[in-house]
């Protein structure tokens, strides 16, 4: 075990997914229920990895600050988006550090981004609706050389599903269903 990562289990998972690609498909979901104003509660839906269904029972609140019509009873959607990207990069960093034999003493990931509210509010045609960019900073305490850390960072970001989803985008579709 390095960084609390079981490298034998990691290798077995890699071999299993390589031999059985359908077992490497993970399906996720969340459900949001409007509470009041701009606040909603979120709960995880069951997750599926290959043919295995995993119950998930996590929940949280999404809200905006009073300046954006909320009550600050939870993180904003943008903060949740950034936390998902940052957490995914962190997971990749920890696992890849372990795979390279790098023992971490501490690790933090910080993400920052900005949003032009004029785009969201449809005030100007030149205002972007999407976030204007995300920037991460990884602070690590370990004995690895700078070149090794740079390679761990590269792989952690380039193979982060959340970072690549934000960087490259994905199709978004949906519909309204009457209750």
Q: What pTM value is reported for the model?
A: 0.93
**Cα–Cα distance measured from residue 155 to residue 149, given in angstroms and rounded to the nearest whole number:** 10
Of the candidates 61, 55, 91, the one whose C-alpha atom is nearest the C-alpha of residue 73 is 61
**Cα–Cα distance measured from residue 119 to residue 33, given in angstroms and rounded to the nearest whole number:** 25
The residue among 29, 48, 73 that closes a domain is: 73
Looking at the DSSP bridge assignments, the partners of residue 31 are 43
Looking at the fold, whether 46 and 88 belong to one and the same domain comes out as no
The residue among 31, 47, 73 that closes a domain is: 73
Looking at the fold, whether 35 and 94 belong to one and the same domain comes out as no
Looking at the fold, whether 43 and 114 belong to one and the same domain comes out as no
Domain of residue 159, residue span: 76-169
Where residue 174 falls among pLDDT bands split at 50, 70, 90? very high
Taking only the tens place, the pLDDT of each residue in 62-112 is 999 999 999 999 999 999 999 999 999 999 999 999 999 999 999 999 999
**Cα–Cα distance measured from residue 87 to residue 40, given in angstroms and rounded to the nearest whole number:** 22
**Cα–Cα distance measured from residue 61 to residue 79, given in angstroms and rounded to the nearest whole number:** 12
Looking at the fold, whether 80 and 157 belong to one and the same domain comes out as yes
Mean pLDDT for the stretch of residues 118-139: 96
The residue among 73, 96, 126 that closes a domain is: 73
Looking at the fold, whether 84 and 163 belong to one and the same domain comes out as yes
Q: Find out whether 129 and 165 touch, Cβ atoms under 8 Å.
A: no
| CA distances, 69 to each of 52, 63, 66, 126, 132 (Å) | 41, 9, 5, 24, 22
């Amino acid at each position: 075990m390095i960084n609390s990562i079981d490298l034998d289990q990691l290798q077995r998972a890699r071999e299993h997914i390589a031999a059985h690609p359908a077992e490497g498909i993970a399906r996720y979901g969340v459900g949001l229920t409007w509470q009041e104003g701009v606040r909603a509660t979120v709960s995880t839906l069951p997750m599926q990895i290959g043919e295995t269904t995993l119950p998930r029972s996590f929940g949280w609140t999404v809200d905006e600050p009073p300046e954006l019509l909320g009550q600050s009873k939870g993180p904003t959607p943008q903060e949740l988006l950034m936390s998902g990207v940052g957490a995914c990069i962190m997971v990749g960093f920890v696992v890849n550090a372990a795979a390279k034999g790098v023992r971490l003493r501490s690790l933090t990931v910080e993400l920052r981004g900005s949003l032009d509210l004029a785009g969201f509010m449809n005030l100007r045609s030149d205002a972007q609706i999407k976030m204007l960019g995300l920037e991460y900073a990884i602070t690590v305490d370990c004995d690895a050389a700078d070149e090794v850390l740079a390679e761990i960072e590269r792989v952690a970001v380039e193979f982060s599903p959340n970072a690549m989803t934000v960087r490259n985008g994905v199709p978004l579709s949906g519909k309204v269903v009457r209750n």
